[in-house]
Amino acid sequence: MLKATNCRHSIGRVPRRDTAMIRTTVLRALVLTAAFAAALTPVTCLGENSNRLPTKATKKLPPELLSLLRQKKMPIHSPILVRVFKEEAELEVWKQDTTGRFQILKTYPICRWSGDLGPKWWEGDGQTPEGFYRVTPGQMNPHSNYYLAINIGFPNGFDKANRRDGSFLMIHGDCWSAGCYAMTDEQISEIYSLARDSFLGTSLGTLLGGRPSFQVQAYPFRLTPANLARHRNNPNLAFWKMLKIGNDHFEATHLEPKVDVCDRHYVFDAQRPPNSARPLVFNPTGKCPALVVNPKIARPALEKQRADELEYAKLLEANAPAAPIYSELDGGMNEAFLAQFSERVTFSKKLGLDLAQHPVEQLMAEHQRMYALGLLKPPAVETPGDAVPAARRGDEVAE
């Protein structure tokens, strides 16, 4: 560790201008040394003191993925951004290329997610979160019971302002979900390594401006006009349209949207109005300050929004088919895994509270249809308490 020295004990006098230059040089050396040390320090989870990491958490990226990074001109330590889509059961990893913009690196099929379309409300509801979240090194768990895990940071400021609660909401391995986004072990190994390497690249840049982190955008589905029209009867539509603003900012610019919360709403890419000297201060439950959207982002985002609204209006005019409010299932699984894990696709536990809208005959018919298509195995005879392994019961399992 470098120790500060007292210039008064050095031999001879140093001119003030040279003293300032020396101080600047020493400060720069201290910053670089601290950044280098931070980059070499293994990332542990949730304040653990142990630096002994399992091999699975220190694995290098596979050669084919390294080749893809070179092909797409993405430095190995450049920032990443993760996007999750429930209905399509897909997880995208985007990475910043040498132009400074994010490009898609790889799309992973999600092995399992639980709950229904819509946000998470409370601990134990089985829902996977939707919204904008940040992941820091402390949220990476190399010792997870689910191979490797990344805590997405629920509840965030928006969730807390809207009195939503829950804990230990993860992206993890083992293809089993109770309120999480579950991948295969091989998939989470790549995703974890990409996240870890991005932290190493941002250590120096964040020393003076905050902690290294990356953004997770979690959506119910791809927020296209067709999907929004199909789900127009869902009570979460207003919430999803709010998420679409951030989605449009990103898709129109390939720049990570700056996310704030005020008046219990998300606000994206806000900045001070022209000629205003007042700093922007956001209170998640208070009134929003006077603000404008960054013009460089607002213009392309507005063009996209207008085109989408026109298409949406045409779909409504054509009376496009509307999806049922509930999917009837507990979560979903990418079709790539249905043959291997069909028994993990189950009916939602909450349907018993909603029989007026979903008659038993309808549920039985749907079950028979899925069985005929080979999407479900014949039901096993079991007691309700045996439906989930004891170690995995409940909504969130503490990592």
Q: Is residue 354 part of a domain?
A: yes
| Count of domains forming the chain | 1
Report pLDDT for 202: 58
Could you tell me the pLDDT band of residue 6, with boundaries at 50, 70 and 90?
A: very low
| pLDDT one-digit tens code per residue, 312-331 | 999 999 999 999 887 667 88
Q: Is residue 319 part of a domain?
A: no
Q: Is residue 191 part of a domain?
A: no
Q: Read off the pLDDT of each residue in 372-385 and give the average, rounded to a whole number.
A: 47
Report pLDDT for 346: 74
Domain with 349, as residue range(s), is 330-383
- List the catalytic residue out of 172, 231, 249, 358: 172
Report pLDDT for 211: 58
Q: Looking at the predicted structure, is the pLDDT value of residue 224 above 60?
A: yes
Q: Looking at the predicted structure, is the pLDDT value of residue 188 above 80?
A: yes
Q: Does the annotation mark 180 as catalytic? A: yes
Q: Is residue 336 part of a domain?
A: yes
pTM over 0.85: no
| pLDDT one-digit tens code per residue, 334-346 | 999 988 888 887 7
Report pLDDT for 360: 43
Task: Pick the closest to residue 260 from 239, 241, 288 (CA basis).
Answer: 288
Q: Looking at the predicted structure, is the pLDDT value of residue 396 above 80?
A: no
Report pLDDT for 341: 86
Q: Is residue 368 part of a domain?
A: yes
Could you tell me the pLDDT band of residue 1, with boundaries at 50, 70 and 90?
A: very low
Report pLDDT for 235: 94
| pLDDT one-digit tens code per residue, 257-279 | 999 999 999 999 999 999 888 88
The more confident residue out of 193 and 386 is 193
Average pLDDT, the chain: 80
Report pLDDT for 36: 39
Report pLDDT for 66: 97
Q: Is residue 204 part of a domain?
A: no
81-85, 163-167, 387-391 — which is least confidently predicted? 387-391
Q: Is residue 378 part of a domain?
A: yes
- List the catalytic residue out of 180, 249, 262, 358: 180
Report pLDDT for 118: 95
Report pLDDT for 326: 77
Q: Is residue 335 part of a domain?
A: yes
Q: Does the annotation mark 262 as catalytic? A: no
Radius of gyration of the chain, Cα coordinates, nearest whole angstrom: 24
| pLDDT one-digit tens code per residue, 28-79 | 443 333 443 444 344 334 334 446 889 999 999 999 999 999 999 999 999 9
Report pLDDT for 344: 81
